[in-house]
Structure 1
Amino acid sequence: MVTLLRGTLRPLRLFQALPGPAADVPLRAASQGTGLLYPEHIPTSLLQKVLLTAGSAGMALYNPYRHDMVAVLGETTGCRALRVLRDQMKRDSEGAQILQERPRISLSTLDLDKLQSLPEGSLGREYLRFLDVNRVSPDTRAPTRFVDDEELAYVIQRYREVHDMLHTLLGMPTNILGEIVVKWFEAVQTGLPMCILGALFGPIRLSAQHLQVLVSELVPWAVQNGRRAPCVLNLYYERRWEQPLKALREELGITDPPMHIKA
């Protein structure tokens, strides 16, 4: 039994030890004969995926800020939802172009000086402001490792890298209340089990006052906007930096939040 568990948990140890890929390198199929579908791929059996799912779910619920565990949970449970998202992207001209060109969002691919020079209220300027105010970096997103399909691996990587863009679109900070609101929006938009679990169980840590505000005002707003907006993975954000954020929200049908949440 000990030997079996060691073998089963080996991918998780690899996940913690391996360095992340260069974010300016698109996810592409690995060379023939290596057994890997893309550079960071870790092949896993069904049993290994089940144990990874159970372990990552437990850790993610215990500590929502364990982004590595949230990432593993998304990869081991999201295959069906990722196929649906991939098909939505293929049917959309902008989404299909993203799938073809495989853009990445990281400090190495962003022109920070250009974003800083953009007009106030533009998507690029507001995205940069979000990163600065909330003290976050796009480089903190974990690389995909456990998805056994090269194209779907890129889809979930893209989802992770536009997560901060969704915060910017929705006007939500990165505190726990803001993250839960974004998770409700993402759950409706993507159908990823990881997002659904985060939306349902994230409020456990909220105070009674915040929980009341969340349930009565913020969740209905997030769900309504998630249903109304087209698939947010179909937006080539890197080519929309100069677009006014207000105009982009109007294009997507995203309304102003019912209240301001402090960062």
Structure 2
Amino acid sequence: MATLLLRSLCFRRSLQHSSRPVVDVPLRAGSHGAPLLYPDHIPTTPLQKMLLAAGSAGMALYNPYRHDMVAVLGETTGCHTLKFLRDQMKKDPEGAQILRDRPRISLSTLDLSKLQSLPEGSLGREYLRFLDVNRVSPDTRAPTRFVDDEELAYVIQRYREVHDMLHTLLGMPTNMLGEIVVKWFEAVQTGLPMCILGALFGPLRLRAQSLQVLFSELIPWAIQNGRRAPCFLNIYYEQRWEQSMTALREELGISPPPKLVQGLA
């Protein structure tokens, strides 16, 4: 149901987008007469948001690797939390600068050769290593579509694009165990419903050995560091590429990650 509704809404949006002239013009109204607030925006009614939220939650719990469903869930359930996060960013000098500059993280904005030339142990070099070892790309993050506020749409887009940066900072791999640990950290820091759901229900997919390590070591570590560290959305990572990971973790109060047992997932 959610997948069909999502495809229908995206199809309508693609038709509107394809009919738009190449020259710059104001964004047209969506299917319900609501204005398009940013290029990928799809205006939806409260009922459509509710259906998308319910369906995407079921699909995301069934298959946590359905990143499209996880993205829809975050956008349709996190409005009030996104306002809180936006306000927290505005109160922080570094966070406020991020909101002003609107930096994006993608292969088109990253200077990979510069990151490669940075010293071993620096944030930029470790982030590049994370992308290479885990065979992930920053371009896989879905654009925001269902948030009916342009500034809040950027906040959740920023959250998605620094997710891999958070993996790097916390020293967590992209397997199921590592993702759950990051979700616990994010849930404590942001309160986003999709993070809380992922943190609570993700362990259901783990083996007994992994569960033991998760509950005895990793979750307590993630909660402790999530409470102690400042909000990860207030870190202007692009201006800190040369900073050493050790110094950055010390600044943020993040203790070294527990040593994960090889093969746990």
Q: Same fold (TM over 0.5)?
A: yes
Equivalent residue, structure 1, for 2:26: 31
Deviation of the 1:10 alpha carbon: 4.2
Paired residue type of 1:99: L
Deviation of the 1:12 alpha carbon: 3.9
Equivalent residue, structure 1, for 2:147: 147
Contact 1:183 1:196 in 2 (8 A): yes
Equivalent residue, structure 2, for 1:217: 217
Partner Cα separation in structure 2 for residue 197 and residue 133 of structure 1: 27
Equivalent residue, structure 2, for 1:240: 240
Equivalent residue, structure 1, for 2:179: 179
Contact 1:11 1:42 in 2 (8 A): no
Deviation of the 1:33 alpha carbon: 5.4
Give unpaired runs (5+ residues) of structure 1: 20-29
Contact 2:27 2:39 in 1 (8 A): no
Paired residue type of 2:75: E
Give unpaired runs (5+ residues) of structure 2: 15-24, 30-34
What secondary structure, in the 3-state scheme, does the structure 2 residue paired with 1:230 have? coil
What secondary structure, in the 3-state scheme, does the structure 1 residue paired with 2:222 have? helix
Paired residue type of 2:63: N
What secondary structure, in the 3-state scheme, does the structure 2 residue paired with 1:128 have? helix
Contact 1:184 1:223 in 2 (8 A): yes
In the alignment, structure 1 residue 89 sits paired with structure 2 residue 89? yes
What secondary structure, in the 3-state scheme, does the structure 2 residue paired with 1:70 have? helix
Contact 1:36 1:43 in 2 (8 A): yes
Contact 1:89 1:95 in 2 (8 A): yes
In the alignment, structure 1 residue 259 sits paired with structure 2 residue 259? yes
In the superposition, the TM-score normalised over structure 1's length comes to 0.90
Q: Percent identity?
A: 79
Cα RMSD after superposing both structures: 2.0
Q: How many residues end up aligned between the 2 structures? A: 248
Partner Cα separation in structure 1 for residue 144 and residue 51 of structure 2: 18
Deviation of the 1:11 alpha carbon: 4.3
What secondary structure, in the 3-state scheme, does the structure 2 residue paired with 1:144 have? coil
Equivalent residue, structure 2, for 1:190: 190
Equivalent residue, structure 1, for 2:18: none
Equivalent residue, structure 2, for 1:67: 67
Equivalent residue, structure 2, for 1:42: 42
Paired residue type of 1:238: E
Q: Which has the higher contact order (CA 8 A, sep 6+)?
A: 1
Paired residue type of 1:31: P
In the alignment, structure 1 residue 167 sits paired with structure 2 residue 167? yes
Equivalent residue, structure 2, for 1:117: 117
Partner Cα separation in structure 2 for residue 184 and residue 140 of structure 1: 22
What secondary structure, in the 3-state scheme, does the structure 2 residue paired with 1:202 have? helix
Deviation of the 1:31 alpha carbon: 2.9
